[in-house]
């Protein structure tokens, strides 16, 4: 076959379909819509079955821990009577060290069930280790493709750390420089090996996290006698928030506020060679969070099962310095040393807890392990080596790619709300660019996708001269 870049890209949809064992075409319903809930039923796996699969493979059942000292600190700067109890779901205690083990467990289960000999994942972070760990349990071969280096051969310490973890689990790791070659090489490997695409964005990648949403509710009820008022999820590609929210909704009818939190990396381009090593977070940041929330089908499957706009109530950002600071605080005040990326939601929760009353509960949905290159001190050292100015001051003065500002006072940690309606409008714009004519099924789909109203969608489509079929 012709393996030029252009030829491989031209057959990408067919490659992706074969590699996950799903005929995505059968879910298409209109000009731009598809049957999302039907896709999420693919595999016919109930929450109870998923829980059993995970329990048999070192995943799930992680403890919910109250951060009493961090809560007390938040109350010192909150107005009287405010400062919700802060809990963390300690997902670092999964076998591979992060919540991504939940996603990998169902992907590897499905790969084995369908008769695939191996799995492939394109990832620079925790998911690679999770897939490698679960593949080892199922006796599957595993290849992890990483975007690791800039053009000078300088690698992100966190990504290099993850390569070591993947190799320890027996995976083959292929490291590439930043740019379009990652997706090309990934597709080529899927085609050449015939391995299963353990994508983060298949139904299996979302199903696995639904158990986390259920556990959050069940654990909170056991520890406190009531359900949480707010759950904060670190947001990148959107699957983390989507799966957690779906699990929560399957477990309780109580309206629980779902908050997405991302590190603010405004101004840095994730695929730019010069910017690649100017960022101190490889995931959980706006460089992934915003592009994927307004255009979820940009992923490595024809239709992504990660649709955060359907579930998100608030979307906030925190700055790098705030996350590094709260990472240190978690270790010093609670005796729990965890990786910075997972603490994005903890930094946000520290701020958001001050909006809630003392008898309310806010849960940080996940933590991640830390070690060597993943440690916040390693990240700060790497930033300094790359010319990033690090100092104590007002985090709102931080300029991604130029500075990291650690808060000089604890009350300076502030979660900043993004305008969700503006994000929804941008999402709709991307949809309307796909077709200048839509049907009623499409309109109903867009209402569900944006979690808004028919009037909201109709108002936007008129701006783009989109015609609606009778």
Backbone phi, then psi, for 416, in 5-degree steps? -105, 125
The C-alpha atoms of residue 185 and residue 350 are separated, in whole angstroms, by 41
CB atoms under 10 Å from CB of 357, counted, come to: 12
pLDDT band, residue 265 (cuts 50/70/90): very high
Contact 171, 200 (CB under 8 A): no
Please tell me the distance from the alpha carbon of residue 470 to that of residue 463, in angstroms, as a whole number.
19
d(CA 328, CA 69): 13
Which tokens hold the place of 242? 């989507």
> Mean pLDDT for the chain?
94
Summarised one tens digit per residue, pLDDT across range 408-450 is: 999 999 999 999 999 999 999 999 999 989 999 999 999 999 9
Please check whether residue 309 is in contact with residue 293, taking contact to mean a CB–CB distance below 8 angstroms. Answer: yes
- At residue 269 the predicted structure's pLDDT band, cuts being 50, 70 and 90, is confident
pLDDT of residue 137 exceeding 90, the answer is yes
Residue 229 is classified by DSSP as S
The Cα 87–Cα 216 span in angstroms is 10
Q: What is the pLDDT of residues 396-408, one digit of tens each?
A: 999 999 999 999 9
Q: How far apart are CA 91 and CA 367, in angstroms?
A: 5
For residues 316 and 354, the answer to whether their CB atoms sit within 8 Å is no
Q: Give the separation between CA 335 and CA 365, rounded to whole angstroms.
A: 18
Of 96, 76, 350, nearest to 232 by C-alpha is 350
The reported pLDDT for the residue numbered 125 is 80
- CA-based nearest residue to 125, from 173, 189, 77, 55: 173
């Amino acid at each position: 076959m012709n393996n030029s870049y252009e030829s491989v890209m031209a057959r990408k949809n067919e490659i992706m379909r074969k590699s996950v064992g799903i005929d995505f075409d059968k879910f298409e319903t209109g000009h731009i819509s598809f049957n999302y809930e039907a896709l999420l039923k693919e595999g016919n796996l109930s929450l109870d079955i998923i829980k059993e699969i995970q329990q048999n493979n070192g995943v799930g059942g992680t403890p919910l821990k109250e951060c009493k000292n961090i809560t007390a600190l938040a109350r010192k700067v909150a107005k009287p009577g405010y400062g919700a109890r802060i809990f963390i779901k300690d997902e670092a205690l999964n076998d591979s060290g992060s919540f991504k083990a939940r996603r990998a467990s169902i992907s590897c289960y499905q790969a084995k069930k369908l008769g695939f000999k191996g799995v492939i994942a394109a990832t620079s972070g925790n998911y690679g280790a999770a897939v490698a760990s679960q593949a080892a349990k199922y006796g599957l071969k595993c290849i992890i493709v990483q975007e690791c280096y800039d053009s000078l051969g300088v690698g992100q310490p966190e990504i290099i750390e993850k390569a070591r973890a993947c190799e320890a689990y027996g995976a083959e790791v292929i490291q590439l420089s930043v740019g379009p070659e990652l997706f090309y090489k990934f597709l080529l490997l899927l085609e050449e090996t015939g391995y299963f695409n353990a994508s983060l964005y298949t139904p299996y990648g979302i199903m696995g996290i639904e158990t986390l949403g259920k556990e959050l509710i069940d654990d909170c009820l056991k520890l406190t006698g009531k359900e949480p008022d707010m759950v904060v999820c670190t947001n990148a590609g959107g699957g983390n928030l989507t799966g957690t929210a779906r699990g929560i909704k399957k477990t309780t009818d109580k309206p629980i506020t779902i908050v997405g939190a991302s590190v603010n990396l405004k101004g840095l381009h994730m695929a730019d060679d010069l910017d690649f090593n100017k960022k101190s977070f490889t995931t959980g940041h706006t460089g992934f969070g915003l592009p994927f929330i307004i255009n979820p089908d940009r992923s490595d499957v024809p239709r992504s099962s990660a649709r955060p706009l359907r579930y998100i109530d608030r979307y906030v950002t925190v700055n790098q310095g705030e996350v590094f600071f709260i990472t240190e605080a978690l270790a010093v005040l609670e005796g729990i040393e965890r990786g910075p990326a997972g603490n994005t939601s903890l930094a946000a929760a520290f701020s958001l807890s001050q909006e809630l009353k003392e008898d309310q509960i806010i849960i940080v949905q996940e933590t991640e392990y830390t070690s060597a290159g993943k440690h916040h001190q390693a990240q700060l050292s790497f930033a300094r080596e790359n010319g990033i100015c690090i100092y104590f001051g007002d985090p709102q003065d931080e300029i991604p790619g130029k500075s990291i500002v650690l808060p000089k006072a604890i009350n300076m940690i502030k979660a900043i709300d993004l305008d969700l309606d503006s994000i929804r409008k941008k999402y709709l714009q991307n949809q309307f660019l796909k077709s200048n004519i839509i049907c009623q099924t499409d309109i109903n789909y867009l209402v569900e996708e944006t979690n808004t109203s028919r009037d909201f969608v109709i108002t936007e489509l008129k701006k783009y001269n989109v015609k609606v079929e009778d």
